[in-house]
Amino acid sequence: MSEQDMIQLFEDQPIRAAWDAEQEEWYFSVVDVVGILTEQTTARGASNYWAKVKERLKAEGATELLTNCQQLKLKAADGKRRLTDVASTEQLLRIIQSVPSKKAEPFKRWLAQVGRERIEETIDPELAIDRALETYQKKGYDSDWIHQRILSIRVRNELTAEWQERGVAKGREYAILTDELTKAWSGMTTRQYKAMKGLKKENLRDNMSTTEIVLNMLAEVSTREISKATQPQNFEESRAVARQGGSVAGDARRNIEDKTGQPVVTSLNATQLNAVVTGMIEASVNAAEDDEKPERDG
């Protein structure tokens, strides 16, 4: 199984998922799906409902379905990894039949769409970028921010490819190295950074200002280039490289702050940043309209 800790959105509600590249199959958190279909307000409520559904499926003789359901360690809301029941698209369709919900049919269509899009993106990776672009536009981000964010995805992928080349393990080791370079340029770990912005499950980069994204990219590019040049032989050496790469962006951040007198790292999240941009656009439009109005004699 690969690409864990991915999030898919159904009607703007998160569903934890993992993509198995070898099988070309999505595996979804059953608790997340059941919680959305039954409109549970808490993870505990969703878990309890899923337990009842399992009892119902056993009574219906669907023991093979339950036996074939796998468990993966997925990240919970508190950041800890816990074993979670996951199901393939085919298995989910069978489970949905046992969950009375007005959202069942829309969810089935969503499953088909998600599966098709992921396979298409595997064949043509540019499609993933196009869909990300469309998603950010719909969320109201301005074009300059979107350009930097899309570029940051490419930079991140190039860095993780370098880490993989150096034998760094996906998951925990990636997270540690990311923390090191983030702390080196911003002064905070990823968790502290997210807490400052009031984030929980949300993606940190999606809630950065343009300047923050650029500096984060500089940290990742620097880390990649230093790694290529020095070729670290183990995790601890890669950790030292991550600190060095982050410090390059850290120096740039402090230089900007010295020149502007303003902090670069901001507590503003996406909602607040978009509100600022929207306000500026509206003010500009209003000013332009005022300029176009004919003057009246007093």
Do the domain assignments include residue 297?
no
The mean per-residue pLDDT over the stretch 34-41 comes to 84
| Contact of 50 with 30, CB cutoff 8 Å | yes
More confident residue, 14 or 243: 243
Do 113 and 139 share a domain, yes or no? no
Answer yes or no: is 289 within a domain. no
59 & 191 share domain: no
In a domain, 220, yes or no: yes
Q: Which of 71, 93, 123 is the last residue of a domain?
A: 123
Q: What is the mean pLDDT of the chain?
A: 79
Q: What is the length of the chain?
A: 298
pLDDT at 1: 41
pLDDT, position 5: 56
Q: Is the pLDDT of residue 142 over 80?
A: no
pLDDT category at 211 given cuts 50, 70, 90 is: very high
Which residues, including other chains, have CB under 8 Å from residue 159's CB and lie 6 or more apart? Answer: 220, 221, 223, 224
Burial class (CB in 10 A: 0-12, 13-18, 19+), 287: exposed
Q: How many domains does the chain have?
A: 2
Higher-scoring residue by pLDDT: 257, 271: 257
Q: Which of 123, 149, 174 is the last residue of a domain?
A: 123
Give residue 272's pLDDT. 74
Query: pLDDT tens, 49-98?
Result: 888 888 887 777 776 677 667 888 888 777 778 888 888 877 888 787 77
DSSP letters along 245-294, please? HHHHHHHHHHHHHHHHSS-SS-S--HHHHHHHHHHHHHHHHHHHHHHHSP
Q: What is the mean pLDDT of residues 242-247?
A: 97
User: Are 154 and 253 in the same domain?
Assistant: yes
Check residue 173 and give its pLDDT: 93
Domain range for 137 = 127-284
The answer to whether position 293 is within a domain reads: no
119 and 195 in a single domain? The answer is: no
Task: Pick 197 or 125 by higher pLDDT.
Answer: 197
- Stated pTM of the model: 0.54
Q: Do 270 and 152 belong together in one domain?
A: yes
Q: Pick the most confident of 15-19, 189-193, 216-220.
A: 216-220
What pLDDT is attached to residue 180?
96
Joined tokens for residue 94: 């069978």
Residues 244 and 273 in one domain: yes
Nearest 5°: the CA angle 108, 109, 113 is 120
Does 147 share its domain with 12?
no
Residue 298 counted as domain residue = no
Q: Is residue 116 part of a domain?
A: yes
136 pLDDT more than 60: yes
Cα→Cα distances 223→140, 170, 251, 279, Å: 31, 17, 14, 37
For position 23, what pLDDT does the model report? 63
Residue 113 and residue 145 share a domain: no
Mean pLDDT of the 202-211 span: 87
Asked if residue 269 is part of any domain, the answer here is: yes
At 250, is the pLDDT very low, low, confident or very high (cuts 50, 70, 90)?
A: very high
pLDDT higher at 65 or 163: 163
DSSP tag of 76: -
pLDDT score of 121: 46
| Residues 152 and 202 placed together within one structural domain of the fold | yes
88 or 127, which is more confident? Answer: 88
> What is the predicted pLDDT for the residue at 235?
95
Residue 62 and residue 53 in contact, taking contact as beta carbons nearer than 8 Å: no
Task: Show which of 78, 103, 123 is a domain's final residue.
Answer: 123
Q: How confident is the model at residue 274 (pLDDT cuts 50, 70, 90)?
A: low
Mean pLDDT, rounded, for 184-200: 91
The answer to whether residues 176 and 225 belong to one domain is yes
Domain shared by 118 and 132, yes or no:
no
Q: Assess whether 207 and 257 both reside in one domain.
A: yes
In a domain, 56, yes or no: yes
pLDDT reported for residue 254:
96
